[in-house]
Structure 1
Amino acid sequence: MAHEILTVDEMYRADRAAMAAGVPGPELMESAGAAVAHAIRERWSPWPVAVLCGPGNNGGDGFVAARLLAKAGWPVRLGLLGSTESLKGDAAWAAGTWTGPVEPLGTALLDEAELVIDALFGAGLSRPLDGVALGVVEELVRRGTPVVAVDVPSGIRGDDGKVLGAAPRAVLTVTFFRHKPGHLLLPGRALCGELVVADIGIPARVLDGIEPLCRRNDPELWGGRYPWPSLGGHKYSRGHAVILGGEVMTGAGRLAARAALRVGAGLATIAAPPPAVQIYALSMPSVIVQPVADSGAFAELIADPRRNAVLIGPGGGVSAETRSAVRAAVEAGKAGVLDADVFGSFAGDAEALFSGLSDRWLLTPHEGEFGRVFGGLTGSKLERARAAARRSGAVVLLKGADTVVAHPDGRAVINDNAPPDLATAGSGDVLAGMALGLIAQGMSAFDAACAAAWLHGEAGRQAGPGLIAEDLPEALPAVLRRLKAQ
């Protein structure tokens, strides 16, 4: 399975490289339109379909799909934004293969349609819809007619998933060669429906000259480096994860510790404020609880080189002590995860947080926390995560249904398997604990972040509707069994 994600510009380069390698443009367009028609015929029986074509190559794909569906006996009406005389290049060629009527684009095309093919604008749209195109899309949204989108639903910007003016909610989107960021980033992901990535004859070797840095998260990216237990291993060889616990919000540290153990860490220690030691000790017999009165005592605890990975932030409190604990862990040469209250503790003083960080550290903010230390960054979620990683020197996992993991060197992964059920208190603490446990076992922070994000999503699917954060570590064994079987 191909996991590269191409920006709009990279996709244009792939098209040009394919044609330079001897694949004619009309052949690519014929294959694209055929892929759309094939996907439709696989899912529906013939019924009245309206094909909405735009003035560019996306519209050309629509002409091909219309011709092939009509040939297969489907009742087809085709509407064009503009005139056939104004079409150029491959789009003009495709229009020339259509022998049926070409109607002006308008809402009347929707009147008898049971299915609509949206071939108005593809991923390269750069300005908001307006005029008749906007009116048709808004009417399409109002009517709720099933939509099959060509490349992306019209109005979705391919590089970031942003809606430009309006966009229909497709039940199926057929794109070509590789994903674009807008297929996986919100709100585009929510509007694409089922997503099919069709092979249209672009040789995979064209990517050698493009070298895309973004991938869709999948075990194929990191599964070969997953730290499965070995016969000669023991608990100390599987890493010792240390979690700095809080005095009041004790659940966060406990969830993280359990997740770290479930994902394979050999030992987990919660460094607990003395008043909370009993709470931690009574709740989890498999976790070591160590009283730690202040950041100095925490520094002494992690001085042991066997305690090789540290998590600071979940439930720890926004305080000078949290800041000092971060500094102690960084100066001790540890690897680990910084989450939650770390970002509040360094709000307004981001450079102090970044001092000494490297790609052995993972930052795991949600959008609100991200803004506290990276508030000046703009652009898409992908662009902001990449910029944050460059600025901090650490790996950044920007959480959400469309989680982005970014490395300081520009590599990035978009995770798209998270169910909405994960939007519950403590879910992020489990994610941080999973990443911590993997780092403790020797995975790089980047691989650990990617693996944890994917496992977190799969655990959410395993637990299903009604899940609470406590369910996620308990769902991991079944997920890991399936992963190992692959």
Structure 2
Amino acid sequence: DGAAVVAVDLPSGVNGTTGAVMGAAIEADESVTFFRAKPGHWLLPGRLHRGRLTIADIGIPDAVLATVQPRCILVGPEMVRASLPVPSLAGHKYDRGHVVVVSGGGHTTGAARLAARAALRVGAGLVTLASPADAVAVNAAANVAVMVRQTDAAEGLATLLEDRRFNAVALGPGLGVGAATRDLVGSALAGCRAVVLDADALTSFVDDPEALFTALRARPPGTTVLTPHDGEFSRLFDELPEIHEAPSKLDRVRAAARRTGAVVLLKGADTTIADLDGCAAINANAPAHLATAGAGDVLTGLVAGLLAQGLGAFTAAATAAWLHGEAARLVGPGLIAEDLSEVMPSLLARLIEPPAAAESAHDRVIR
């Protein structure tokens, strides 16, 4: 009694590929694995059983990765730093993209405003709130750097988006569930610009998910990101056999990406991201206090802001997820969603101008 439990590779009973507990599993104080971590070290519930994770160097050269060809990575600061768009001294705001965030009605504007501020904070050159008439006054009063344009219903959004300078659109937070939102999604998906769909933009298709999937598959690859939480994901996808029967969260998200042709980011403590080719990432830096109202809306804005600056859909989603989690860690307990955008400048500055000390490359998941 009282002795420390150290697991070699994985705690007995934990599946290294899926993170599932196979009947029962020990709860280790520490797990020591070799060369690279496995998905099961980071996916729940396996992550809760492994304790502190140590990756031991046993002499396997990094060059082996070229042969292994891993299909899953753990998102970390090294990847994010390499992906972040860095403004050019000779550039201007139009080089950094223009995001449109679609607002809900007058009593549900907060979610879109959170997303719009996040898109601006992560570096988008301009952000416009597309606002129905009854929300224009409150949106205009609550924003300074974010612009506001009246765009009533799907026809108004379609007219606004005829201007090709709007190169990324985010919609779903606070829109409401129903036919009007489905029509707005249709307007957003027309054309080739980047689109982020979240919240009500997904739930509005629960009675006819195939209508959404068909529209998504018709879009150019790498231009659309879906950011559901578990409930939204289940309502859209769990009736599909290839997803309902998938053995892990990683497999479910990969199957959803293949079905839709979009990048799918399934939020959670083990946020999982996949594209239609099966490439996947796990982001595991989110602290427990990130589970708060409006946090997902901020993530939507971060993804849209990075897409507007030219990142591909998979890279934008993975980068945004890590920035989201790291911002929450910096704020700490007591976090509310508004705090996340406000720590973004210091977080980005630290990444763009990193300390001299090199980071280890041994924190990647391979599959």
Decide whether the 8 Å contact of 1:303 with 1:332 is kept in 2: no
Residue of structure 2 equivalent to 1:249: 108
Decide whether the 8 Å contact of 1:359 with 1:395 is kept in 2: yes
Q: What per-residue deviation string (whole Å, max 9, x for no partner) do you get for residues 329-387 of structure 1?
A: 22122212010001111113222212223321100001110112211213200001111
Residue of structure 1 equivalent to 2:326: 458
Residue of structure 2 equivalent to 1:48: none
Decide whether the 8 Å contact of 1:417 with 1:458 is kept in 2: yes
Residue of structure 1 equivalent to 2:57: 199
How many angstroms does 1:152 deviate by?
A: 1.4
Residue of structure 2 equivalent to 1:475: 343
1:340 maps to a residue whose letter is A
Residue of structure 2 equivalent to 1:364: 227
How many angstroms does 1:262 deviate by?
A: 0.5
In 2, the alpha carbon distance for the partners of 1:332 and 1:270 equals 19
Alignment of 1:67-82 (within 5 A): none
Q: What per-residue deviation string (whole Å, max 9, x for no partner) do you get for residues 262-319 of structure 1?
A: 0001111111111111111111111111111110001001110111100010111112
In 2, the alpha carbon distance for the partners of 1:190 and 1:267 equals 41
Residue from 260, 266, 278 that aligns with 1:398? 266
Residue of structure 2 equivalent to 1:344: 203
Deviates more, 1:160-169 or 1:185-194: 160-169
Give the unaligned 5+ runs of structure 2: 355-367
Residue of structure 2 equivalent to 1:221: 79
Residue of structure 2 equivalent to 1:387: 255
3-state SS of paired residue (1:249): coil
Q: What per-residue deviation string (whole Å, max 9, x for no partner) do you get for residues 139-173 of structure 1?
A: xxxxxxx3222111211111111112222322211
How many angstroms does 1:477 deviate by?
A: 1.1
Give the unaligned 5+ runs of structure 1: 1-109, 116-145
Q: What per-residue deviation string (whole Å, max 9, x for no partner) do you get for residues 17-66 of structure 1?
A: xxxxxxxxxxxxxxxxxxxxxxxxxxxxxxxxxxxxxxxxxxxxxxxxxx
How many angstroms does 1:228 deviate by?
A: 1.3
3-state SS of paired residue (1:163): coil
3-state SS of paired residue (1:237): helix
3-state SS of paired residue (1:270): strand
Alignment of 1:82-93 (within 5 A): none
* TM-score between both structures, scaled by the size of structure 1: 0.69
3-state SS of paired residue (1:369): helix
3-state SS of paired residue (2:63): helix
Residue of structure 2 equivalent to 1:416: 284
Q: What per-residue deviation string (whole Å, max 9, x for no partner) do you get for residues 222-266 of structure 1?
A: 533321111112121111100111013211101000100100011
> 1:170 and 2:38 equivalent?
no
Residue from 5, 9, 14 that aligns with 1:156? 14
Larger Rg: 1
Residue from 138, 144, 151 that aligns with 1:285? 144
Q: What per-residue deviation string (whole Å, max 9, x for no partner) do you get for residues 173-209 of structure 1?
A: 1111111111000111122221111111223333332
In 2, the alpha carbon distance for the partners of 1:225 and 1:419 equals 23
Decide whether the 8 Å contact of 1:154 with 1:167 is kept in 2: yes
In 1, the alpha carbon distance for the partners of 2:27 and 2:329 equals 23
Alignment of 1:242-321 (within 5 A): 242-247=100-105, 248-321=107-180
* TM-score between both structures, scaled by the size of structure 2: 0.91
3-state SS of paired residue (1:455): helix
Decide whether the 8 Å contact of 2:80 with 2:322 is kept in 1: no
3-state SS of paired residue (1:183): helix
Q: How many residues align?
A: 344
